Structure 1
Amino acid sequence: MKQLHKQSSINHRRDEEMSMGPTAPYSPKTLKHPRSLPIPRSINYLFKEQRLLFILVGILIGSTFFILQPTLSRFGPSEPNSFSVPRSFSSGLPQRDQVSDFAQYPPINRGKLGRVPAGIPRKRSRIVVTGGAGFVGSHLVDKLLDRGDDVIVIDNFFTGRKENLVHRFGNPRFELIRHDVVEPILLEVDQIYHLACPASPVHYKYNPVKTIKTNVMGTLNMLGLAKRIGARFLLTSTSEVYGDPLEHPQKETYWGNVNPIGERSCYDEGKRTAETLAMDYHRGADVEVRIARIFNTYGPRMCLDDGRVVSNFVAQAIRKQPLTVYGDGKQTRSFQYVSDLVNGLVALMESEHVGPFNLGNPGEFTMLELAEVVKETIDSSATIEFRPNTADDPHKRKPDISKAKELLNWEPKISLREGLPLMVSDFQNRILNEDEGKGLK
């Protein structure tokens, strides 16, 4: 049975091969209907899943936008201050209307630190103040922090006091470093106010070698820092660079009359050397330098018993002691309140002038006149006691501040009779404290 089936299949296959042999003529199939024409794959892709419809809709939307855009721009805001992207940004060439718009606003001068227009916040600066725990330095720190700057104070507390800065300890923009500027220090700041140096005769005569090292090595270190980091540097020099002057009042062009080997020379000549270093760094290394020559200054936070005449008179009057006048009392001084000095230092730092600049109050008082003002303010029954004068004590001291008036627009505002009561109240509070009254820090 299986053999019969197998034989029949073989016979059937043989019949098919004979029918498809090579002798059979080739005849293609006739086209039954035009629909059977082969369709290109790209056209077939467009017609599937309505892709052609989506393409047509996209073309229609794009055409509508480009046709209507010029018409819509006519109804847009025409004010010059409206927020719109100028065509000059895309074309690269400013058009006439856009040039007139930008002409309203003057270009920003980034090279100078002039006044900031109202409504635009000033750039916060990072500033270091050497000697910032001292009398003048602490008031300067207050002003810089109050205007929004970051302040780093460097002080070795030889004459500075932490009490002068304790009210700033919680401020995140304030930092205090115990350091002696005689040793180098690395910081990243924008400005350096270099105030570090004992300034009263009692303190700078206590260790004259240390005083001259502070003026020379300390100034060198801070100038070197300013050079490395590109910071602006302000040196607080002193009216003592004029010595016992032969010119009255003293101008910045006066070279002075200083004893180079006297008891005060560690301070006087030290500051003169510091000015020399500052100018050499300015000329030779292109460091931005500012030099201020400070005249007698008074105010709260002065050290008690520091040997300066105002603090001596005030402390003696509060303690019911005689007011000590050295010599005949006819030597003259000029006294400026500390806030006036701080304003002058900041004005100088922010200016484009190197200096030196005299910063002081041209109001001139003899020592006897100052003693009378202190008696009127504190105790009219106070007595005066005369003692021999100290070595190399200047006979006259009065600044010519015409240069600061003209170039810095600065002059002192507070008179001695206005500022002295503010200092007296501070001294009374401190002297009533037992430790402070004994001269302890």
Structure 2
Amino acid sequence: MATTLDIARENANAQTILASAPQVVQPVPQAEEDKPTLIGLNREELAMALAEVGVPEKQRRMRASQLWYWLYVRGVADFSLMTNVAKDLRAKLAVAYTIARPEIVDEQISVDGTRKWLFRFPPRGAGRPVEVETVYIPEEGRGTLCVSSQVGCTLTCTFCHTGTQKLVRNLTAEEILSQILIARDRLGDFPDATTPQGVMVPSEGRLVTNIVMMGMGEPLYNFENVKKALLIASDGDGLALSKRRITLSTSGVVPEIFRTGDEIGCMLAISLHAVRDEDRDILVPINKKWNLEALLDACRNYPGLSNAKRITFEYVMLKDINDSNKDALELVRLLKGIPAKINLIPFNPWPGSQYGCSDWDRIEEFADIVNRAGYASPIRTPRGRDIFAACGQLKSASERMRKKDRDALAS
């Protein structure tokens, strides 16, 4: 059974009304959710924010570096903790801006140690607050954070639970980064922080070692925000995640694939899942716009592609759909000449799905064929299935509840 924790929203920046002379009226700061945030701003934008609160031009670069350090190295969510920043500047920043974390609506813990968080963000044009799911997968030598890029999805991949939720809006760079920051908060992965007792994490080193843009949404349909967030996450003077430990997964938005390698420089994963256009048109409908030939041509031209920087091809194993020996041989043929590895993913069921998972013997025989062809093809062991945190299972809890209510009314 998964353990569900109801977590009250932490208000790290509680308002304080200071005592003052009777004739002086102290300004009341804006509510945190109404303030612009400094999270997600690059250094130039931080300098502009400092200009807005009166920091002289000669000091802005230095002050921006200080903010960067506190936000991304120390992970603070309260201006008062920035001890090497002048008190009057901290006060001005607290009135004008926020660095508070978004709300954690729910946290679920799997029997295998996988954690799933439900985060709530402001409407920002959506009409109501929006929610996304983020997953942390602890393993012996690494801790992988699966990050969402959109609220919902437009792609309607038929094996994916997220694809049954309509797209509400893109996430901002701040909202993408916030998923990383909160995960590190909850795991005790910032300096001087303590990992809560009983939390499963790697035995040594950093607790969030890898980022995969494989959560809710298609990252390349939100390219600019994803790019901005990942460049901040990989900045050596901040969160300092190696670009070789950041993987962006796309279903095949061909025009943005080259830009991903050229402008972000991260590792690339392709949600392939079929080896013939007629099958992929059904499983991954974006294939009707950019077919296998166009997709694989874009992969061959991915900047920096080499045996040391291989593309990962994700392949979900669907019983009697794409799991025959003939499919395995065709997969080998398609990828010939592309430095690649193949992740075979046993299908993770979800309510209402029309598919079943391939039998284990079938998956192993499929894997043997691609391994003999020289591809590293580990069978990805399902993690977090009991809390719907595995590949293809993410969908915001609020959307599930609304659908449940609609179904109950309809019956």
| TM-score relative to the length of structure 1 | 0.30
Higher relative contact order (CA 8 A, sep 6+): 2
| TM-score relative to the length of structure 2 | 0.31
Higher Cα radius of gyration: 1
Structure with greater proportional helix content: 1
